[in-house]
Structure 1
Amino acid sequence: MQTTQVGQSRIRETKQDKIVILSNRGPNDFVWRGGGWVVERASGGLVSMLAPLAQRPDTTWFCCVSEPPDAKGERDGLFTTAADQCAEFDVVPLPLPPEVYQAYYGRISNEVLWMLQHHMLGPGGYELVDHARYRAWSSGYFEANRRLAAAVKETCVTPRAFLVQDYHLYPLPALLRRHFPHVRSLHFTHIPFPEPTVLRLLPKPWREAILHGMLGADRVGFQTEEDREAFLACCKYTAEREVDFETKTVRAIDGRQVYVGVYPASVDPEALLALRDSPRVVEARARFADTRSEFSIVRVDRLDPSKNQLVGFKAFAHLLETRPDLHGRVLFRAFLVPSRTDHTVYRDYKAAIYREIERINATYGPSCGRPPIEVFYTNDREQALAALERCDVLLVNSKEDGMNLVAKEWAIVADTDRPGVLVVSETAGVAEEAAGSALTVSPLDVEETTQAMVRALEMPRTEREGRLQRFRARVRSWTASHWLTAQLTDLGVD
């Protein structure tokens, strides 16, 4: 196939003796703008955290890309091709046939692993495993990992180290070790890791392949201490491996001691402050000034069931119901980033979200003098950053989050003349670092979330300032640079 030949040609050009990054996503994303797909630098935290390493001449970045089913593609089908990856980094895109990519990325990575690891179980989430899922695992998920390992073998004669990213590539470290038994590697999981009882909801061969694959690395990394403890417990009670909970090590099947570390994801404060002063943020800031209200509540997250927007809006509706004195004084700006729009679950969730927003706006719009909820369904980081600057409440009520970098971005860019308050789920990874600074809530507790938003709106300025300053100092003490440096140091790579 032509795109595969392009991928192979690109692979042959790659130099050896490099640090190798391996991930599902590459540095670029598709954004629908002006009636067509526009290729832009990916906005996710993974790209921003890896960029300093990826820009080095001694680093190569492998990623999976899909061959589009036709030249134009469908608007709801998010595809990226080898030709779309930028020359800014040394990127090696591995083209996958659409049927392989969809099985690997859609049927297993998103519909099974993402849902399971965010405890999205039952209808609308991970519900069952049938023959089609087994086929997707073998001919999609495992096949994509196998092809990626083979592409690295073809390319890198003597790689220095491997940095393998996230749940899409659980089997990959063990596959790489077959070809490169002496090359050090680290696997980092960006999302929550499940405890043994939840992991056992996967077929036994799958969970064995996941744990065996991860233990193919020399280092395994997670966002929080809870994630690390869950993984260690899975290794002991599910894989029956020898685990030392004090030294945080697991004995792999080949006798190696695998260290399990905690590396909380973070942001680049200086880059954020530079972006805050960019023309697009200044322009967005001016637009918001025309519609400014006395109070503003903001949320910024992907439109994903795990982000729990529906409960957040219900809590806001309860605030309007119980506090009529706030009608017309508080505006909820919701920035909903399109996500996995080709999946039925996500389309259904979006429809439910919009129905709830329309209900709230129809019910309380007349007494508020305007719709109390503004929705921005777009991937416009600069616009969201402008809203984060001067919000009174940042609501992050996800059911579970590996970390949630939006909260850390807010801590850096928030206007000290109008300090806001973070309201965050106890189940988000960032809650641990925001302890003593944020107001924490149980993500499914509408009443508690409402009360937290009211408390934040009415909090004295001095208390808001103190909370923001503490969290900002914490974020500045552990940045994206620390996240990356700690992993490279543990691998013995400088």
Structure 2
Amino acid sequence: MSRLVVVSNRVAVPGEDRAGGLAVGLEAALRTHGGLWFGWSGKTVREDSGRLHEQSEGDVRYVTMDLDRRDHDDYYNGFANRTLWPLLHSRLDLVDYARETREGYRRVNALFADRLAPLLRKDDAVWIHDYHLIPLAALLRERGIDCRIGFFLHVPMPSADLVSALPEHARLFGSLYAYDLLGFQTSRDADRFRTYARIFGRATIDGDGTVVLPGGGRVAVTSIPIGIDATRIASQSAAAVNKPAVRALRESLSGRLLAIGVDRLDYSKGLPERFRAFGRYIERHPSERGRLTFLQIAPVSRGDVAEYRHLRDQLEGIAGHINGTHAEPDWTPLRYVNRNFAHATLTGFYRAAKVALVTPLRDGMNLVAKEYVAAQDPEDPGVLVLSMLAGAAAELDAALLVNPYDLDGVADAIARASTMSREERRERWQSMMRPIAGSDIHAWCRQFLDRLAEVAT
């Protein structure tokens, strides 16, 4: 069996507390195949960008690369997160069109290619992840690498007309044609890429969805929704019931129901709209007043970026207005927390919550939605209120699906969720657990790698 080489912006090296769902799945796949995980070390250095560090555990090598401050600012803080992130989430109003960061992004991808190419073998299966590294396969091909290479885009693929708003978009997104296999979260994302290739790459589309380029090159395109480790989440949440933080949360509710939201502090998550919808719920359903407490956990990310600082200020203002208007001496309607919690503790919070609000304005998948469902007590599960604009909505259609921009609609969904019968809650939960358990993170890895092997042969 060929060696697996995983390439991502960051690497979950042994001993580092980055054991998210994706890391769990990729590490399991690497252990199965034996392999190499390559990416940025997470360190910024004064000089010597591209210096490598290596460690091993079992049959897996972890090779990481330092970046200097300029490279990090242009590649990561700049083009990846101030240009591509808003573009891919259909926020053209927030796209930074600076040419300097665009060149820095390509420069760092070339550095990845320079350091990775000597480590590769002809029969390797290379799996590159996400928008940080879109041009990497093309740069590896320029350096003579001809092994099979697959790519998975974890965030949404926007429509062709939005992509075309990016200067030199064909140079960047055209580099995706260097991959053997492109993976997307949903069939709609895959179709949007095919449309882009047809319009701007003059490609035709085969009956199986393969993109066929004018020169005869072929790029297989598939949609495989990423999953979670459902068994682990379920056992973790059951064990977390007696954790001090979970007990303290339950006791603080004084018998009230809990609604929960857990999101990185990001404008794509629809947090201002969610807060306003919760305020609208209190106003539209006065008989529900004081029955439900909403806890929003939103750890700060990219705090040095102006848009994120503005978002944090905005949320604090909305939360203050809702609480100032509706709070009682013994009830604070909205609790807004900007800190991280251990993942095991979060699963306990999920299990304690009778309602989850997962209402992004745009999301590739959203694993919080799946984790919330997996964490529930099967005998008395909570209700998921889910944005129809999240990739997870395609699988979890038994959730209460909402338009996150429709504040009254979200408000009414909260009211319906908080009063739903146990029988209906159980039926909806069972319907959602079937795809979650059947297509977990390990199945996702297997399906992609099997498809990559099939394409290569």
Same fold? TM cut 0.5: yes
Matched with 1:102 is: 73
State the match for 2:283 in structure 1: 321
Shift of 1:345: 1.0
CA distance in 2, matches of 1:353, 1:180: 50
Whether 1:444 aligns to 2:405 is: yes
Counterpart of 1:241 in structure 2 is 203
Deviation at 1:23, TM superposition (A): 0.6
Question: Greater CA deviation, 457-466 or 270-279?
Answer: 270-279
Matched letter for residue 109 of structure 2: N
Shift of 1:69: 5.7
Question: Residue 68 of structure 1: SS of its match in structure 2?
Answer: strand
Q: In the alignment, is the contact (CA less than 8 A) between 2:228 and 2:370 conserved in 1?
A: yes
Please state if 1:465 is matched with 2:426. Answer: yes
More divergent stretch after superposition (170-179 vs 230-239): 170-179
Whether the 8 Å CA contact 2:45–2:66 is kept in 1: the answer is: no
Task: Give yes or no for contact 1:66–1:101 (8 Å, CA) kept in 2.
Answer: no
TM-score (norm 1): 0.85
Deviation at 1:44, TM superposition (A): 4.1
What's 2:186 paired with? 224
Distance in 2 separating the partners of 1:301 and 1:376: 11
Q: Distance in 2 between matches of 1:67 and 1:473?
A: 41
- What is the match of residue 36 of structure 2? 60
What amino acid does structure 1 have at the position aligned with 2:68? P
What are the equivalent positions in structure 2 for 1:363-442 lying under 5 Å apart? 363-366=325-328, 369-380=330-341, 381-435=343-397, 437-442=398-403
Question: Deviation at 1:42?
Answer: 1.8
Give secondary structure in 2 for the equivalent of 1:302.
Answer: coil
Give how far 1:253 is off.
6.2
Aligned to 1:121: 92
Q: Residue in 1 aligned with 2:132?
A: 168
Q: Flag the 1:237–1:468 CA change in 2: closer, same or farther, 3 A.
A: same
Structure 2 counterpart of 1:166, which letter? Answer: D
Q: Which amino acid in 1 is paired with 2:264?
A: R
Partner residue of 1:144? 108
Structure 1 segments of 4+ aligned residues over 6 angstroms from their partners? 81-86
Give the distance between the partners of 1:180 and 1:135, measured in 2 at CA. 28
Mapped contact 1:163–1:186 kept (Cα < 8 A): yes
Aligned-partner residue type, residue 265 of structure 2: L
Structure 1 residues 280-322: Cα deviation after superposition (integer angstroms, max 9, x where no partner): 9733322223123332111111110000111111011111122
Distance 1:92 1:150, change over 3 A: same
Q: 1:26-105 counterparts in 2 under 5 A? A: 26-27=11-12, 40-42=16-18, 44-56=20-32, 58-68=34-44, 90-105=61-76
Q: 1:288 to 1:82 in 2, by over 3 A?
A: farther
Aligned residues: 449
Q: What is the aligned partner in structure 2 of residue 7 from structure 1?
A: none
Letter in 2 for 1:20: V
Tell me if 1:487 matches 2:451: no
RMSD over aligned CA atoms reads: 2.5
Once the 2 structures are TM-superposed, how far is the Cα of residue 255 of structure 1 from its aligned partner?
2.5
**Once the 2 structures are TM-superposed, how far is the Cα of residue 376 of structure 1 from its aligned partner?**
2.8
Compute the displacement of 1:277 (Å). Answer: 4.7
Conserved 8 A contact 1:27-1:86 = no
- Selected match of 2:6 from 7, 13, 21: 21
In structure 2, distance between residues paired with 1:278 and 1:83:
37
- With over 3 angstroms needed to count, the CA separation of the structure-2 counterparts of 1:155 and 1:283, relative to structure 1, is same
Give yes or no for contact 1:49–1:266 (8 Å, CA) kept in 2.
no
Post-superposition offset of 1:49? 2.7
Structure 2 runs not aligned, ≥5 long = none
- Equivalent residues of 2:209, 2:221 under 8 A apart: yes
Find the counterpart in structure 2 of residue 135 from structure 1: 100
Q: CA distance change for structure 1 residues 236 and 455 in 2, over 3 Å: closer, same or farther?
A: same
Distance 2:55 2:399 in 1: 38
**8 A contact 1:250–1:257 mirrored in 2:** yes
| Residues 1:266 and 1:342: Cα distance change in structure 2 (over 3 Å) | same
2:437 maps to what in 1?
A: 476
Task: Label 1:157 to 1:419 Cα distance change in 2 as closer, same or farther (>3 A).
Answer: closer
AA matched with 1:323: H
Q: Contact 1:419/1:464 (CA < 8 Å) preserved in 2?
A: yes
Q: Please say if residues 165 and 189 of structure 1, whose CA atoms lie closer than 8 Å, have aligned partners that are also in contact.
A: yes
Distance in 1, Cα, partners of 2:24 & 2:45:
30
1:274 deviates by 3.6
Question: Cα–Cα, structure 1 residues 83 and 354, in superposed 2: closer, same or farther, change >3 Å?
Answer: farther
Secondary structure of the residue that 2:327 maps to in structure 1?
Answer: helix
Deviation per residue, 1:356-391 (Å, 9 max, x gap): 111211221126x22111223222122321111131
Runs (5+) with no aligned partner, structure 1: 1-16, 30-38, 72-80
- Structure 1 pair 24/454, CA: closer, same or farther in 2 (3 Å)? same
Q: Which residue of 2 aligns with 1:6?
A: none
Contact 2:351 2:372 in 1 (8 A): yes
1:119-177: CA deviation from partner (whole Å, max 9, x where unpaired): 1221xx21x52xxx212111x11011111111111222445111010111110111122
Distance 1:364 1:96 in 2: 49
- State the TM-score, normalized to the length of structure 2: 0.92
Give 1:224-303 correspondences, 5 Å limit.
224-244=186-206, 246-252=207-213, 255-278=216-239, 282-292=243-253, 293-303=255-265
Counterpart of 1:173, as a letter, is A
